[in-house]
Structure 1
Amino acid sequence: MNGLAIDSDNVTVGAGFNAGRGVIVSAPHKLLVGNNVSIGPRSVVQVDGTIGNFVMIGMNVHIVGRDDHAIDQVGVPMLLSTWVGDRDGTMRDAVAIGDDVWIGASAVVLSGVTIGRGSVIAAGSVVTSDTDEYSLNAGVPAKKIGDRFDGDDDRMRHSLALDELSRADQRVEF
């Protein structure tokens, strides 16, 4: 975890956390990061919310707020406007990233979205809306392009195995 910067006042990370060089993790209010999460080099996570267990975040990914500065304050330059950390948080200020998610390199995830359990976000995508569980998503803005598993049977078996791993609360070595 060389060069890692974590705002320990507002961020809680679980066991088995791994981060590459130059990673920044902070939150205006509160961010909970699950167990066995890996964040690639030069990535920035600066939002409230939750990141589940067994999440892979590629290099140069940005998970950021969409309303970090007020843009509607008459007579106040945006640089001097109310910052998200100086007001009460809202649902639009947070992300919810489910268990077993893979966010590819150079993707951008804006606050106010839920990335469903088991989803894959393709490299370079911009996530501006919620994703379905076990979906494959790509583009600007990201749209569903497929499903991770062929059928409900595989999806159910995977979910049960993932639940068992999460309950075991075991640390996985990367």
Structure 2
Amino acid sequence: MGNDSTLSSVHGLRVGHNVSIGQRTVIEVDGAIGDYCLIGRGVQIVGRVDHSIDEVGIPMAFSTWVGDRPAVPQDAVQIGSDVWIGGGVIILGGVTIGEGAVLGAGAVVTHDIEPYGIAVGNPARVIRKRFDSDAQRHAHSTALRVDSSDVSDKG
């Protein structure tokens, strides 16, 4: 994990094997990060309902906080294996990033990204697929299931 990075979760976060987290990255959500993920510098993976905004007469600073209530789906981010998250990306809670996806630098991810999609922009949108065919995507997915010790020996 890079210098000055933060990794925390109120209700639970699973981080897979061979995950690289860049400097000054903040990950403060529930959910899961798959194996072989590359997370660039200055990435923020944060909740979108950390404080209630609809409690009449209560300032948001004093409203119900995510840690004072049961988990809801919007608290979690699910990141598949072999995902590359470019520098400065922001991912909001309640999002699933499919296996093998690539998120271009500075993207703001507010909705799910399909497996092997390459997404850019604000809000992030898929501009193409990482591999040309379903057969290639399937072969790559199958190769990812290899024991991590076998894959790390290839590099």
The normalised TM-score by structure 1 is 0.85
- Aligned residue for 1:85? 67
1:56 pairs with 2:38? yes
- Picking from 27, 39, 44, the partner of 2:21 is 39
1:24 pairs with 2:44? no
Aligned-partner Cα distance in 1 for 2:4–2:43: 12
Aligned-partner Cα distance in 2 for 1:147–1:118: 10
Aligned-partner Cα distance in 2 for 1:94–1:157: 29
Deviation per residue, 1:53-95 (Å, 9 max, x gap): 0011000000000000000011111111111011000111101
Q: What's the offset of the Cα at 1:172? A: 3.6
1:160 pairs with 2:146? no
- Aligned residue for 2:86? 104
- Aligned residue for 1:65? 47
Deviation per residue, 1:73-125 (Å, 9 max, x gap): 11111111111011000111101000000000000000101000000001000
Q: What's the offset of the Cα at 1:160? A: 1.1
Aligned-partner Cα distance in 2 for 1:160–1:64: 30
Letter in 2 for 1:51: I
1:135 pairs with 2:117? yes
Structure 1: tracts of 5 or more residues without a match: 1-18
RMSD, matched Cα: 1.4
Q: Which runs of 4+ in 1 moved over 4 A?
A: none
Letter in 1 for 2:49: D
Aligned-partner Cα distance in 1 for 2:137–2:125: 20
Secondary structure at 1:50 match in 2: strand
Deviation per residue, 1:142-168 (Å, 9 max, x gap): 00100000111211111111111xxx1
